[in-house]
Amino acid sequence: MGSPVDQLSPTYFERRFRSRDRDETQAYLAGQYGRVDLGRPFSGYAERVVGDGRFLLADARMLGDLRCVVDPDVLLISTGTPGSGWEVGDETGSFAAEPVIFQPGEQSVHRIADLEGRAVAFRVPELTRTARLLYARDDLELRFDGPRPVNARRAASWLAAMEVARREWRAGALSNDSVRATTYRQLAVAALETFRLVGDRRELRVSAERRARVFRVGARYLRDHAARPITLEDAAHAAGASTGELVLAFRAQADGLGPTAYLRRSRLSAAHDQLSSTPITVRAAAELWGFSSEAVFVRHYREEYGADPVGSGA
């Protein structure tokens, strides 16, 4: 499957195209993918795309033959049904054999015959930012060492992550900003682990594992001590990290949610559960869970749950 070369929209979007007209399809594909030769016979083409400024998911079905030369401005991972193949330099492969990654600056040739294809495209600046946070390398350049996965196990992990994303798409959940952010995060990490980045792989893995551990321990500390007057320094100490490292670990692991926001969300969740199950006033819940005033608690509660908190008791 080819690669969209138009700019990704900064906000959520959906796009559909379907046609049995050869000239109309030729014009559409040329506008989206670059140099396209639509062969004969041709029976129809359909495409669905959804995404935002970080990534997109695409499904396509070609009834006929197609050859396209693609030099994408996004980073693309594609799979497809048997009978269609790709070329990148001296390497060739089948879209059905394993997922394949195409990078900006590397021209590829796609030969498609009666294909059902699926693709995920990442905007390079966004994926670079995610990789730098994940691996704790501010100088990391996003470049992959070839188009194939590291191994079959990693390829299977990518396919599983893509299926989870597609399940959210089919359910209509990707229009939700939070769901879409989580989906991007899961796909981005899967892509970075499935294909081999140029550089010291062992060093990158150690960095990623440390950030994951700092996040895991720090998040557990914040949840377990949410009712106490704790600070970020307390959570960082519990995780064996500096405050700055804790913040970066949360940015890398929690879809951009910082530890302060994570602690506030934990406290709101606990207060919400308590208000729903025990006789307590809103003021008392605000005080118990560390909010500076009832008004501040109500404001944050409304932002989180879309309604004002309701208490009971004297």
Which pLDDT score, from 0 to 100, does residue 256 have? 66
Three-class secondary structure of residue 254 per DSSP: coil
Residue 99 has pLDDT above 80, yes or no: yes
Which pLDDT score, from 0 to 100, does residue 228 have? 87
Residue 6 has pLDDT above 90, yes or no: no
What's the average model confidence in pLDDT over 249-277? 85
Q: Please write down the long-range contacts of 88-91, taking CB distance under 8 Å and 24 or more positions apart.
A: 88/147, 91/146, 91/147, 91/148
The whole-angstrom separation of Cα 61 and Cα 83 is 13
The whole-angstrom separation of Cα 218 and Cα 231 is 11
Question: Does residue 159 sit in the same domain as residue 205?
Answer: no
Give how far Cα 206 sits from Cα of 22, 125, 209, Å: 52, 23, 5
What's the average model confidence in pLDDT over 235-242? 88
Sorting pLDDT into bands at 50, 70 and 90, what band is 163?
A: very high
Q: Give the residue from 157, 178, 199 where a domain finishes.
A: 199
What's the average model confidence in pLDDT over 205-219? 84
Which pLDDT score, from 0 to 100, does residue 96 have? 92
Which pLDDT score, from 0 to 100, does residue 7 have? 41
Three-class secondary structure of residue 62 per DSSP: strand
pLDDT, tens digit, for every residue of 44-89?
999 999 999 899 999 999 999 888 888 888 999 999 999 899 999 8
Which pLDDT score, from 0 to 100, does residue 304 have? 87
Residue 2 has pLDDT above 50, yes or no: no
Reported as type and span, the H/E element at residue 194 is helix 177-194
Count: domains in the chain: 2
What's the average model confidence in pLDDT over 158-169? 94
Contact of 155 with 98, CB cutoff 8 Å:
yes
Residue 302 has pLDDT above 80, yes or no: yes
Question: Does residue 93 sit in the same domain as residue 228?
Answer: no
What's the average model confidence in pLDDT over 185-213? 82
Contact of 81 with 115, CB cutoff 8 Å:
yes
Question: Does residue 230 sit in the same domain as residue 312?
Answer: yes
Predicted TM-score of the model (pTM): 0.70
Copy the structure tokens of residue 31.
């506008």
Q: Which domain holds residue 108?
A: 1-199
Q: Give the residue from 199, 226, 258 where a domain finishes.
A: 199
The whole-angstrom separation of Cα 308 and Cα 314 is 18
Question: Does residue 195 sit in the same domain as residue 209?
Answer: no
pLDDT, tens digit, for every residue of 25-39?
988 888 887 778 887
Question: Does residue 91 sit in the same domain as residue 183?
Answer: yes
Q: Give the residue from 179, 199, 219 where a domain finishes.
A: 199
Residues 263, 269, 51, 60, Cα dihedral to 10°: 130
Question: Does residue 94 sit in the same domain as residue 179?
Answer: yes
Nearest in space to 197 (alpha carbons), one of 249, 245, 255, 132: 132
Mean pLDDT over each residue of the chain, to the nearest integer: 87
* CATH at 265: 1.10.10.60
Q: Strands 91-94 and 108-113, how do they pair?
A: unpaired
Which pLDDT score, from 0 to 100, does residue 3 have? 45
Would you put residue 280 in left (φ > 0), alpha (ψ -120 to 50) or beta?
beta
Question: Does residue 30 sit in the same domain as residue 119?
Answer: yes
Contacts of 293 (CB under 8 A, 6+ apart): 286
Nearest in space to 248 (alpha carbons), one of 135, 127, 132, 133: 133
What's the average model confidence in pLDDT over 12-22? 93
Which pLDDT score, from 0 to 100, does residue 314 have? 47
Question: Does residue 113 sit in the same domain as residue 222?
Answer: no
* CATH at 78: 2.60.120.10
Question: Does residue 189 sit in the same domain as residue 273?
Answer: no
What's the average model confidence in pLDDT over 292-301? 90
Residue 176 has pLDDT above 60, yes or no: yes
What's the average model confidence in pLDDT over 259-281? 90
Bridge partners for 224 per DSSP: none
Question: Does residue 210 sit in the same domain as residue 174?
Answer: no
Backbone angles phi, psi at 44, to 5 degrees: 160, 160
Question: Does residue 274 sit in the same domain as residue 146?
Answer: no
Question: Does residue 37 sit in the same domain as residue 166?
Answer: yes
